[in-house]
């Protein structure tokens, strides 16, 4: 079995910081629009919800471990810097390692195959991530039903398609085996956007089919945000869903406790009745 985090709900925001996020098809840029929407989402979360932030481009890094400190989260979002390439699978796996720090997820092996990122474009794992060290003894892992872990979720936003790193659908399967839902957001216009880099003009478009598949595998949902306003609505929708799921979980726990209490009362009354007859 794996060691689960705190019973308080934890949300990981995994956000693409590849160079395509500088495209201006969404004003002022995709990155600035995404930062504004992420900060609004953070501000609207209940105070007991922990939020962590993972950024990914050619590799992935924890820019803010899960915390309830909203100021720290906003500061982390403001620190985003753009990098080359897109590794959606790395973003998912790093998010899982952040949620389950004691699960023994071998980041160096899974993300880099025991070396630096392929094609020589990555940096050593010790410098690339801030994930917790692996425990000396790894507990045996037993998969659970997809979507069954209600204490945490991952919200992944990207405007591109995978160019390096582990396959996104394999990473999604890792999340599904741990019961974690990965809500995916495709950010950008359907036509894509143009990005100028080192004298070259590149056209960028996100991989909608892969994002839909990630959401389906993990029993979550896919959203398309073609504008800053759309992205804001997506985050509002996810915030409402989070609150609803928390209430359902709390009510279920309360009903279970009430049923147990009634069973104890019934047993005591039955015992008292039979003692009276005797």
Domain at 24, CATH number: 3.40.50.410
Is position 3 within any domain?
no
pLDDT of residue 275: 59
Q: Do the Cβ atoms of 81 and 49 come closer than 8 Å?
A: no
Strand, helix or coil for residue 50 = strand
- The string of pLDDT tens digits covering residues 110-140 is 777 654 444 333 333 333 444 445 444 455 7
Give the largest Cα separation in the chain, rounded: 96
Helices (H), 129-222: 168-177, 208-217
Asked if residue 99 belongs to a domain, the reply is: yes
Q: Say if residue 94's pLDDT is above 90.
A: yes
The verdict on residue 2 lying in a domain is: no
Domain assignment of residue 53, yes or no:
yes
Phi, psi of 207 (to 5 degrees): -95, 90
d(C-alpha 138, C-alpha 130), whole Å: 19
pLDDT in tens, 41-91: 999 999 899 999 999 999 999 999 999 999 999 999 999 999 999 999 999
Query: In the predicted model, is pLDDT for residue 247 greater than 90?
Result: no
pLDDT given for residue 100 in this prediction: 94
Domain that holds residue 212: 10-277
Domain-embedded: residue 4: no
User: Is residue 248 over pLDDT 60?
Assistant: no
- 5 vs 219, higher pLDDT: 219
Specify which residues 55 forms β-bridges with: 15, 61
Q: Domains in the chain: how many in total?
A: 1
Q: Is residue 1 part of a domain?
A: no
Assigned domain for 5 exists:
no
- From 169, 22, 23, 19, select the one nearest 88 (Cα to Cα): 169
Residue 116 covered by a domain:
yes
Q: What is the mean pLDDT of the chain?
A: 80
What's the full length of the chain, in residues? 278
Main-chain dihedrals φ then ψ at residue 201, nearest 5 degrees? -110, 120
Instruction: Decide which of 195 and 175 is more confident.
Output: 175
Tell me the pLDDT tens digit for each residue of 148-176: 999 999 999 999 889 999 999 999 999 99
Q: Is the peptide bond before 28 cis (omega within 30 degrees of 0)?
A: yes
């Amino acid at each position: 079995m794996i060691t689960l985090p705190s019973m308080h709900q934890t949300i990981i925001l995994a956000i693409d910081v590849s160079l395509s996020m500088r495209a201006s098809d969404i004003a002022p840029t995709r990155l600035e629009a995404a930062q504004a929407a992420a900060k609004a989402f953070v501000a609207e979360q209940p105070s007991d919800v922990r939020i962590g932030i993972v950024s990914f481009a050619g590799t992935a890094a924890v820019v803010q471990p899960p915390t309830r400190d909203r100021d720290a989260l906003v500061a982390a979002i403001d620190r985003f810097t753009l990098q080359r390439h897109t590794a959606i699978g790395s973003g998912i796996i790093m998010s899982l390692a952040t949620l389950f720090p004691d699960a023994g997820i071998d980041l160096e092996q899974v993300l880099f195959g025991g070396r630096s990122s392929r094609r020589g474009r990555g940096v050593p794992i010790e410098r690339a991530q801030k994930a917790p060290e692996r425990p000396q003894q790894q507990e045996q892992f037993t998969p659970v039903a997809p979507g069954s872990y209600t204490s945490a979720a991952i919200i992944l936003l990207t405007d591109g398609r995978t160019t390096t790193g582990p396959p996104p659908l394999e990473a999604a399967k890792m999340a599904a085996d741990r019961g974690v839902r990965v809500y995916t957001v495709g950010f950008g216009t359907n036509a894509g956007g143009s990005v100028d880099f080192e004298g070259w003009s590149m056209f960028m478009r996100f991989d909608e089919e892969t994002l839909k598949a990630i959401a389906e595998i993990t029993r979550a949902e896919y959203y398309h945000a073609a504008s800053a306003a759309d992205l804001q609505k997506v985050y509002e929708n996810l915030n409402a869903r989070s609150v609803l799921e928390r209430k359902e979980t709390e009510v279920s726990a309360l009903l279970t406790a009430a049923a147990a209490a009634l069973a104890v009362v019934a047993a005591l009354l039955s015992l008292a009745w039979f003692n009276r007859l005797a």
